[in-house]
Each structure stands twice: as C-alpha cells, then as structure tokens.
Amino acid sequence: MASDGYLPLFETKSVKGRVIYRPFAVTVFVGICLIWVYRASYVPKRGEDGRWVWFGLLVAELWFGLYWLLAQALRWNQVHRCTFKDRLSQRYENDLPSVDVFVCTADPTIEPPIMVVNTVLSAMAYNYPPEKLSVYLSDDAGSDLTFYALLEASEFAKHWLPYCKKFNVEPRSPAAYFSSVIADPHDASWPKEFMKIKRLYEEMENRIKTTVKLGRISEELLSMHKGFLKWDKYASQGDHDTILQILHDGRDKNIKDTDECGLPTLVYLAREKRPQYHHNFKAGAMNALIRVSSIISNGQILLNVDCDMYSNNSDAIRDALCFFMDEKKGQEIAFVQFPQNYENITKNDLYGNSMTTIAEVEFHGLDGYGGPLYIGSGCFHRRDILCGGLFADDGKSEWKTEKNTKRTESVHELEETSKGLASSTYEQKTQWGKELGLKYGSPVEDVITGLSIQCKGWKSMYFNPVRKAFLGVAPTTLPQVLVQHKRWSEGDFQILFSKYSPAWYALGKISLGLQMGYCRYCLWAPNCLATLYYSIIPSLYLLRGIPLFPQISSPWFVPFAYVVLANYTYSLTEHLLSGGTIRGWWNEQRIWLYKRTSSYLFAFIDTISRSLGFSDSGFVITAKVSEEDVLQRYKEEIMEFGISTPMLTVLASLASINLFCFVGLVKKVALGHSMIYRLSETMVLQIILCGVLVLINLPLYQGLFLRKGKSKIPSTIILRSTAFGLFACTCFTVLY
Ligand SMILES: O=c1ccn([C@@H]2O[C@H](COP(=O)(O)OP(=O)(O)O[C@H]3O[C@H](CO)[C@@H](O)[C@H](O)[C@H]3O)[C@@H](O)[C@H]2O)c(=O)[nH]1
Ligand SMILES: [Mn+2]
C-alpha cells in the first residue's frame, strides 16, 4: 500500500535475475570487443590467402556484436505485472466501461467458420456485463458461409453463456472446452447439463460443417433468414457491397439467454470491397470496425483478436481494465498487449512457434522501458487514442462520465447509418490509415501503429498471466512458418525506413531502451547477410584448408570461445527457465537459422525492390487447418517440407554446401593422419562451426535424401540444391 493509503489496481515487479545478468553481459561485451580487436589487427597481408573474406568477417562480427547490444535492451530492465481484479470490482463494478471486441477473418477455407465462431463465442462469454460487451466479426471474405455459422452461434450463445456462468467454465470456446473437459460421472448435477450443451454444440457443429462442405447455403436455409438476401448482389470476395447485420442488439430487452439475462451485442460486418480500391488488409478491416462500432456500441475499450485466437481466460477484460482504470498510472496507458500463445504447440516445439524468448523475456524487457510493441491479436486499446487522441499529462480519463448515450434508432436504421462507414470510398481524403486508426502500407500494421502511439507519449503494458489469455493456431509446416516470418520481418524492416522509424523519428520521443528494442526487431531482415556469410564462407575455407579464426594455442582463441559458450549457455538457460526443453532449444536454434537465411533474405530483397518500385508487399494469410497426415507428422515433430518454394531451395543449398565441406574434411583426415593434428590446431573453430551446421541441418538432410512421400523435399529442389552445393564446393577448391 502506498503511504497515502491508495491501493493500486496493478503492481509492477522488477525481475530479480538482473543482478547476475548485468555483470555477465558486461563480460560478454568485453569478449565481443576483443573479437573486434583481433579481426581488425590481424588482417592477412596483400597477396595472402583470405584477405578479402577477412574484411567480410570483420563486418559480420561488427554486425553481430552491435545486434547483440540491441538485445541487451530487451533484457536489462525486465518487469512483470500483476493485477488486482477484486479491487477493480469493489471500486468500479457499476461503472465499468463498455468494451468492443473485434474478431477478424478473411477466408473461409483457410479459416474455417466453425473455428471463427468458437472464437466469437469465447468473446461473448467473457465475465463481463453483457450490456457493456459487443462482439464484431469482420469478414474480409464476405462469405455467406461464415455469416451462416455466426447465425448459428448467435442462437447457441443463448445456451452457452448461461452454462459458462453457472459452471464457471474455462476456456469459453466450446470446442476447446469440450476437448479439454472430462465429465465427472459421479457428480449427478452437472453431467446432465453438460451432455445437453455438448449435444447442442455438436449439432450446431455438424450443421455448419455440412453447409461448409456443400459450399453454399441451401434453399431451405436461405428462406429461414432474411440476412442471406444481402448476398443477392454479391459478385466476388473482392467485389461486393457492405454487408452489415446486427444479430443481437444489446439495447433490445427481448433478446435474452435461457436464464433471462441479456446478451452481448453481436454484429457481422463485411466491409465493401471493390477491385479499384485497395482494401489495406487487416488494417483496413480494423478501421472499418472502429468506425462502424462507434455508431452501434461505441465501446471505450477495444479488443482485437484474430479469428483463431479464442479467449482462454474469461477474466482478461478485467485484467486489462486494471491497467486502464488505475487512478494514478492509468491515464498514460494507451494499450495493453497480451502474449500470443498457441493451442497446438508440441513438446519440443519443432518450429519454434511459441517464440518463448520473445514472449517470456524480451517483451518484459520492453515493458520496463515504456511498453511492448502492439502485435495485433490479444491487444486492448483505448478507442479515443486509436482515433487520434492527444497525450496530455493531466488528461484524466473519466470513465464514469463517458457513459454511452444510448441511441434510439431501430436496428435497421442503425445498420443503414453505420453501413456507409464501411464503404470502400469512405476513407478517401480522410486521415484514416494515416493519423486515424491503424496505419496502412505495412504488412505489420500493428507494430507501426503501436510505435506511433508511443511516440506521442503514451505508454503500453505487457501482461503475461499464468493462465494464458488467448490461444491460437500456429502453422504446422516449415514453408508456412517461413512465409509468416517473411511477412513479419519485411514489415518490421519497412518500419525502419518509414516516417515513424524507431531509429530517428522516435529519437527523444520514446526511451532509448525502447528504441533499441524496436531496432532489434526492425533489423531482423538485414540479419540475413551476416548469417549467410557466416554459414557459408568459413565452411568453404575449411575445405580449402585456410584458417579464418585464431588457433587453439593463441590467446585470441579465448574471447571467441568465451563469447560463443557464454551466449549459448545463457540462451539455453533462458529457454529452460521460460519453460522450454533442451530439444526445444535446439529446435529454436535451427528455426532461427532457417528464418535468417531464408525468410529474412527474401524479406530483405523484397523490401529493397519495393523501395525501388518493383513490387508491392501483400498479406499472405497463415493457414489454420492442416490435412490429417500433416497434422500427424506435426504431432510427431517430423519436419514437413512438401511444397517447392524458393526459400526451401536456399535452405537446401546451404545445407548441401555444409555437408560437402564436412565430407571433404572427413576425407582429408582419412587420407592423412598428420592432418588431424594440423587441422585441430589451426581450424578448430571452423570445424566446430561447420559441424554444428551439419548437425542442425539433420532434418533437412532427411528430407533431402531419406524421406519418402509428400512431406519430403520436392525432387526439383533436391536436384537444384545438391547441384548447387557441388558446384560451389568444386569451383571453390579447383578454381580459387
Ligand atoms: O486482408 C486481410 C488479411 C488478414 N486478415 C486477418 O488478420 C488476422 C491475422 O492474419 P494471420 O494470417 O493469422 O497472420 P498472423 O501472422 O498469424 O498474425 C499476426 O501478425 C499480423 C501482422 O502481420 C497481425 O495482424 C496479427 O494480429 C498477428 O496475430 C487473421 O484473423 C485474418 O483473418 C484480415 O482481416 N484481412
Ligand atoms: Mn494467425
């Protein structure tokens, strides 16, 4: 308790480990400096082997060192938050602000309607007064199948919400709940209701799945709901009028669940799409939602979730409010970001999908310097700020006085009034996408929007509760993971050159630590260069027998060994402390290498060619369903390759080069025993580097040479990459 008797709604604790971490980081930095010194002072003389690559190594090591420095900002000052929801209820239970939840979907095949409505249902079932809660589904596909599913869900909600309340159910996505719960047959009271609600759900699920399989709405259904009439003029996904339907009107006292309680407002929105107007992907959808909802419910707090990210904790709204409504600190907080967690993570997380270090360490570090990035799903915003509100130190937000002035129009009138706000021409000559709402032009609309808000002086909060607040679906194949990371790294890299660059625009506007943190992510893409260099050149030189690192008896060997050992020991510890496994850590190292040498490389190339005007970046939606056999391999943690992509070609080629270099080395050793001694004396670091690269690539070699079936690497890639590897190695040894 503070001295004035004030009890805060949330509390901040510094992470204890910092007393150990900080001196440790200093020693690593000394090691890095020594490496730089070594590189700069032992450049081979003119005419000596390896002079030019030496300069390359110097640049790569400078890059890695500086990039490492940026990572320190993410670890130096970590904080954890906890909330006091009981205090919130005591003080504000009758004055809670209204909350609008936005669920975004964009493709009924990649994002099945049954999954989407499960997310919607989980949001409707938040432990929050229904008259203050509204859920909007934005459907960028404008699909009548998704609409139909929502219609079904709106009826099912009348049973589901009271059930959740009565039994205090978690999670409140019915699909997740039914797959997690084991009914207790000894408890006479609840199995009956459980069986009943389960049956209702399964019937709904069946109807939705049947309709989706059919691919169209049957005549019978068409005649059942007038809403389908709105599809009469629908031409295609990219060419249709706004379709806006209020399925539950929160003001309507006649809409009640089976317990006679009111239901949250529920709205379906497919904004207008026309081929001649750019729709700006998710950012465009969000902005349409912000405007439309301002007429219908005008919630003061906005929550956005992706359609796969169901609510796993029905108290999350209240958690977020503890930040916004804290009397002392609340008024400077613009958004509260929760981590993005996934339901389908396997034990050793083959593709590093959970991004453990980012979620469990780095975002806590950002939080210590003014707040995490806005990363889309799982983020609560204050509406006024997203709509251009200015920061003022004394600007106390008066939650109580901002009571929603209830509108009096009929549902139909309300639909008609707000419909225009979602038209494809509405934003012309307005500030939407620039000063208002989410920013356009970036594949990571969220990050750039969050940064611009922080630059105005607002703070953000990272809240990472033990019970995960949101769970989504992580990609299950290597190509999908690589594409997703290409979008992210490309988007982040573009931000570096945008008007809101964290490197210069943000200077003096946000703290230095936060600036460095942003730069760490914005520089993902160019990381490919140094990494590619390091994973090719030393191996090729190993094949030639030219040492590029200090030999084992040299004192300069020590800083190299120390930095490598210290960094990897630390990262393993960090991973284990964050709940990972040793194999999980190893997998993370592999995916880290793959992302850097493929996703980031293509992101880098595309960003450059985009800035020269050659291409435009898009938004490839991440798949959220997989075929049965793919899923099975995912569960068994067998790497899935399958399709032929340029990124996979690059990875396979790199793996081939390293394999051939390693084989070459083994051959040399086998031929002459004296070699062993010489090599181990002069080239230990190169041998280790090449050996580790081969080890980490084992699943790739399996995919290349051993696996059969459609999950292996396609044969065109096998041919191309081995030919390329052989060619590179031969050229290098013969011609050089
Ligand atoms: O034109 C579009 C494209 C996408 N989406 C929706 O955007 C969400 C995110 O798309 P997804 O393919 O799942 O991308 P992820 O990489 O998983 O998403 C992360 O990264 C995005 C930025 O790249 C953020 O917007 C997301 O919130 C964040 O979860 C999904 O709900 C989509 O339906 C749209 O509404 N309209
Ligand atoms: Mn997603």
Q: Does 312 map to a domain?
A: yes
Ligand 1 is surrounded, with C-beta below 6 A, by 104-106, 111, 138, 140, 281-282, 285, 306-307, 340, 376-377, 443-444, 446, 484, 487-488, 491, 619, 621-622
Query: What is the structure's pLDDT at 172?
Result: 97
Helix (H) or strand (E) holding 194: helix 189-214
Given a cut of 60, is residue 404 above it in pLDDT?
no
User: What is the enclosing helix (H) or strand (E) of 518?
Assistant: helix 512-522
pLDDT cut 70: percent of the chain above it: 96
Domain-located, residue 288 = yes
pLDDT, tens only, 660-675: 999 999 988 888 766 7
Residue 273 contacts residue 142 (beta carbons within 8 Å): yes
Binding-site residues for Mn(2+): 282, 306
Is a pLDDT exceeding 50 seen at residue 303? yes
Binding site feature residues for UDP-alpha-D-glucose? 111, 140
Asked if residue 435 is part of any domain, the answer here is: yes
What are the pLDDT digits (tens) for 689-702? 999 999 999 999 99
For the stretch 576-627, pLDDT in tens is 999 999 999 999 999 999 999 999 999 999 999 988 877 777 788 998 988 9
Q: How many C-beta atoms surround the C-beta of residue 72 within 10 A?
A: 20
Q: Is the pLDDT of residue 184 over 80?
A: no
Instruction: Quote the mean pLDDT of the chain.
Output: 93
Ligand 1 atom closest to residue 306's alpha carbon, by position in its atom list: 31
Between 220 and 302, residue with greater pLDDT? 302
**Catalytic residue IDs:** 140, 446
For residue 8, tell me if it sits in a domain.
no
> What tokens were used for 524?
């993902």
- State how far the Cα of 298 lies from the Cα of 294, in Å rounded to an integer: 4
- Phi, psi values for residue 468, rounded to 5°: -60, 135
What pLDDT is recorded for position 402?
47
Query: Is residue 131 in a domain?
Result: yes
CATH code for the domain in which residue 425 is found: 3.90.550.10
Q: In the predicted model, what is the mean pLDDT of residues 431-450?
A: 94
Alpha carbon separation from 406 to 251, 297, 377, 385, 452 (Å, rounded) = 8, 8, 29, 22, 32
Please state, in angstroms and rounded to a whole number, the distance separating the CA atoms of residues 664 and 733.
10
Query: What residue owns the CA closest to ligand 1's atom 31?
Result: 306
* DSSP assigned state of 629: H
Domain, as residue range, for 280: 96-400+407-488
Ligand index nearest the alpha carbon of residue 618 = 1
With a threshold of 0.90, tell me whether the complex ipTM lies above it: yes
Confidence of residue 370 (pLDDT cuts 50, 70, 90): very high
Give the closest ligand to the alpha carbon of residue 491: 1
Q: How far apart are the first and last CA of the chain?
A: 72
Domain annotation covers residue 6: no
Number of structural domains found in the chain: 1
**Count of positions (residues) in the chain:** 736
Neighbours of 360 (CB within 10 A): 19
Please give the annotated binding residues, written as ranges: 111, 140, 282, 306
Please write down the HEC assignment for all residues of 472-513: ECCCCCHHHHHHHHHHHHHHHHHHHHCCCCCCCCCECCECHH
Is the confidence at residue 396, as pLDDT, over 60? no
Residue ranges of E strands in 15-125:
79-83, 99-105
Q: How confident is the model at residue 346 (pLDDT cuts 50, 70, 90)?
A: very high
Query: What is the DSSP track for 289-336?
Result: HHHHHHHHT--SEEEEEETT-EES-TTHHHHHHHHHT-TTTGGGEEEE
Query: Looking at ligand 1, which residue's alpha carbon is closest to its atom 35?
Result: 282
Secondary structure element (H or E) that encloses residue 245, with its range: strand 243-248
712 to 346, 482, 700: CA distances (angstroms): 20, 16, 9
Going by the DSSP 8-state scheme, the letter that residue 438 receives in this structure is S
**C-alpha of residue 615 to centroid of ligand 2, in Å:** 24
* Residue 306 Cα to ligand 1 middle (Å): 6
Q: What pLDDT band is residue 17 in, cutting at 50, 70 and 90?
A: confident
Omega before 44 cis (within 30°)?
Answer: no
DSSP-derived 3-state class of residue 587: helix
Does residue 618 lie within any of the structural domains?
no
- The predicted-structure confidence for 318-329, as pLDDT tens digits, reads as follows 999 999 999 999
Q: Is residue 162 a contact partner of residue 261, using CB atoms and an 8 Å limit?
A: yes
Segment 142-168 mean pLDDT: 96
- What Å distances lie between residue 2 and 82, 90, 92, 328, 447, CA to CA? 16, 18, 20, 11, 35
Residue 280 included in any domain: yes
Q: What is the pLDDT of residue 522?
A: 97
Residue 137 pairs in a beta bridge with 103, 268
The burial class, CB within 10 Å (0-12 / 13-18 / 19+), for 346 is: middle
Render pLDDT for 550-565 as a digit per residue (tens, 0 to 9): 999 999 999 999 999 9
CA of 475 from ligand 2 middle (Å) equals 8
Tokens describing residue 203: 């019937």
**What is the CA(624)–ligand 1 centre distance, in A?**
11
What's the pLDDT score for residue 401? 42
Ligand nearest to the backbone CA of 238 = 1
Residue 48: partners with Cβ closer than 8 Å, 6 or more residues away = none
Ligand 1: which atom is nearest the Cα of residue 106? 33
